[in-house]
């Protein structure tokens, strides 16, 4: 049987493995991951840290046992030291036993994901600064937030993860300071008018916004006995204890824990820092052999093939085709990871399947403010050279005589030259999330703004208005 080795077993790797094992009977699959577990839904971290849900257990949607039952070989807690691409061999070491071994392959899938951006700032090695990338580190932060000694928490980065963590920490009764070098929140997916609505939701719920403010330094204090004694009180599970030990060792090494964050505008006392600046592709295993994009992501074609014919790359470590740009780009989303894993697996197994491309559809819900978008914002579209224009509309979701009602804001972004829809954004305290799927499909199918103007949209007072906000926004286009 042809043998496929998958390095990395989160969303993209799992989707590829499931496709090979469930859809084909003649595939040998080997999965390698450096973690103790797989399938952690990192997007749920803020939910359980913020006590929206009872615990983290259901954030794992599969297990190594599930894949073993399907016939896969699983190597957990295993570090891939290097890949010999010419001779098709993967050199591995079990991080627990120290055992080294080699896995040969007919096909290789790189599903190594992304890694957090760590700022090279004075004091960035102090204990108490966390990246929230791994499940184990989330456990540490959850335990730290349970302590009364943690009162002020700085979150650095006002993208999706930073904003979600700011809400979660505020719900734990802590004072939250949210920093970003840019002058608004969520700049990647939303234009300023939508960012302002999210900023209002945050500030009105007690999050202190420090936007347009650059972090320059972290400072620490040296009350060693207090900090180490506190760490000893944490309920350290087998998963958590190595991180607690590492924090103790780091404390002794650097002589303190984080106690202050210094920016270009001031200095602030903090007891804990969450670094949510962003992520970059984790392409260390192949960047010297395979072609990579400017940001380091593996360059792949529409079939997820890299520059080496027997090597595929999926998920956050690879580029992806954007139907809004009509070009290859980089969009790190779990939904994209799943789709690319499926596409790669089918092609490896002999079913030719071209990836349909993506729109980067996304959503966020903070303190009851729901925002969704797909495609390009007006700002991003202009930055890519489009003659981009926007049409906006704001109205009640339902007729005014309906007692349960919410305002909805919508923006449609389109190319003034071709009239093609480039993006859509919506915001409301109502759940308007399903509407963005229609716009995602419209972008994928290259629909024009004019085709949306008289789109057949039903009317019923329970759901919407006869002059629907989608129709009205489209009709408002130049």
| Catalytic annotation, pick one of 11, 130, 190, 370 | 11
DSSP 3-state of 219: strand
* Residue carrying the six token digits 């350290």: 236
Do residues 359 and 441 make contact, with C-beta atoms less than 8 angstroms apart? no
The rounded distance, in Å, linking the Cα atoms of 180 and 161 is 12
Gap between the Cα atoms of 274 and 149, Å rounded? 16
* Alpha carbon distance 327, 314 (integer Å): 17
366 forms beta bridges with 369
- Cα–Cα distance measured from residue 369 to residue 205, given in angstroms and rounded to the nearest whole number: 11
Q: What is the 3-state secondary structure (H, E, C) of 62-86?
A: CCHHHHHHCCCEEECCEEEEEEECC
Question: Hey, CA dihedral for 256, 265, 203, 377, is it positive or negative?
Answer: negative
> 106-115 burial, b if ≥16 CB within 10 A, otherwise e?
ebbbbbbbbb
**Catalytic annotation on 317?**
no
Catalytic residue among 37, 43, 51, 346: 43
Cα 321 from Cα 342, distance rounded (Å): 15
- Distance (Å, rounded) from C-alpha 375 to C-alpha 192? 16
d(CA 423, CA 185): 19
Degrees to nearest 5, angle at CA 343 with 86 and 284: 40
Q: Under DSSP, is residue 15 helix (H, G, I), strand (E, B) or coil?
A: helix
23, 66 in Cβ contact below 8 A? no
Alpha carbon of residue 242 to chain centroid? 25
DSSP 354-367: ----B---EEEEET
Q: What is the DSSP string of 252-269?
A: HHHT-EEEEEEESS-EEE
- Report CA torsion sign: 158, 159, 161, 167: positive
3-state SS assignment for residue 321:
strand
Which region holds residue 350: left if phi is over 0, alpha if psi is between -120 and 50, else beta? left
Q: For 414, list phi and psi in degrees, rounded to 5.
A: -145, 160
Positions annotated as catalytic residues are 11, 43
């Amino acid at each position: 049987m042809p043998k496929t080795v998958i390095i990395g077993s989160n969303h993209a790797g799992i989707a590829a493995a499931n496709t090979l094992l469930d859809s084909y009977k003649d595939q040998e699959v080997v999965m390698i991951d450096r973690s103790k577990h797989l399938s952690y839904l990192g997007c749920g971290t803020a939910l359980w840290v913020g006590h929206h849900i009872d615990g983290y257990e259901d954030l794992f949607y599969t297990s190594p046992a599930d894949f073993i039952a399907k016939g896969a070989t699983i190597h957990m807690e295993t570090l891939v030291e290097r890949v010999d691409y010419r001779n098709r061999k993967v050199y591995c070491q079990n991080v627990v036993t120290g055992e080294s071994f080699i896995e040969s392959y007919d096909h290789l899938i790189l599903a190594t994901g992304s890694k957090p951006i760590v700022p090279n700032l004075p004091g960035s090695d102090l204990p108490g600064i966390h990246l929230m990338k791994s499940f184990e580190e989330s456990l540490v932060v959850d335990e730290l937030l349970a302590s009364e000694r943690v009162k002020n928490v700085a979150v650095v980065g006002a993208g999706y993860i930073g904003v979600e963590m700011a809400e979660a920490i505020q719900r734990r009764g802590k004072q939250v300071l949210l920093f970003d070098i840019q002058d608004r929140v969520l700049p990647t997916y939303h234009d300023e008018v939508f960012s302002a609505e999210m900023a209002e939701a945050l500030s009105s719920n007690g999050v202190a916004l420090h936007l347009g403010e650059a972090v320059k330094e972290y400072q620490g204090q040296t009350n060693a006995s207090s900090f180490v004694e506190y760490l000893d009180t944490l309920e350290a599970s087998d998963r958590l204890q190595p991180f607690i030990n590492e924090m103790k060792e780091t404390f002794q090494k650097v002589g303190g824990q984080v106690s202050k964050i210094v920016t270009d505008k001031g200095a602030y006392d903090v007891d804990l820092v969450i670094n949510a600046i962003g992520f970059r592709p984790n392409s260390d295993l192949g960047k010297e052999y395979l072609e990579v994009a400017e940001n380091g992501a593996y360059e792949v074609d529409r079939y997820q093939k890299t520059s080496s014919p027997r090597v595929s790359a999926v998920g956050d470590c690879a580029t992806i085709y954007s139907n809004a740009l009509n070009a290859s780009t980089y969009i790190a989303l779990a939904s994209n990871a799943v789709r690319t894993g499926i596409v790669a697996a089918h092609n490896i197994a002999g079913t030719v399947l071209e990836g349909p491309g993506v729109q980067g559809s996304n959503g966020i819900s903070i303190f009851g403010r729901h925002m969704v978008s797909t495609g390009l914002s007006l700002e991003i579209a202009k930055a890519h050279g489009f003659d981009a224009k926007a049409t906006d509309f704001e109205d009640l979701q339902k007729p005014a005589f309906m007692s349960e009602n919410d305002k909805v804001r919508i923006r449609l972004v389109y190319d003034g030259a071709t009239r093609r829809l480039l993006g859509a954004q919506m915001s409301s305290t109502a759940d308007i999330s399903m509407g963005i799927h229609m716009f995602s499909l419209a972008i994928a199918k290259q629909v024009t703004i004019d085709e949306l103007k008289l789109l057949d949209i039903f009317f019923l007072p329970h759901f919407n208005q006869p002059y629907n906000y989608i129709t009205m926004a489209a009709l408002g286009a130049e």
